[in-house]
Structure 1
């Protein structure tokens, strides 16, 4: 018999054994997406991973973070003359 709540129960059981306490499978999904993005993953690839129809949904899901130390435009490689 198929049990749709099996993953949910496993996540809850193992989360209780950690300092995390309460954790849901969706928290793991969100964390995976954010780690992929932080590691340089393209927004479009993360969209496919999550199964979002709209790129805007994926962008909103991830939130926005700006690095002031490593600004994205620093990697363009243009030189001022």
Structure 2
């Protein structure tokens, strides 16, 4: 969490190995922002057409569901704006 208000404008996920059964979710303060986004064989990036406000001290939770059970590394990248 961050001690100030911000806005998320982009979010991306990459993996060392991809399986079409794997998917991910993203929550902000318990509200699901992305639900069951299945991975593709390329790094994924989402630029929001509407920015997602994140209040100060909000919990941002990422869940990766490794349905394939293959060993892998997951990388996250996000872009935030702040006044």
Scaled by the length of structure 2, the TM-score of the pair is 0.21
Q: Which has the higher strand share?
A: 2
Q: Which has the higher helix share?
A: 1
**Structure with greater contact order relative to length (CA < 8 Å, sep ≥ 6):** 2
| Bigger radius of gyration among the two | 1
Scaled by the length of structure 1, the TM-score of the pair is 0.22
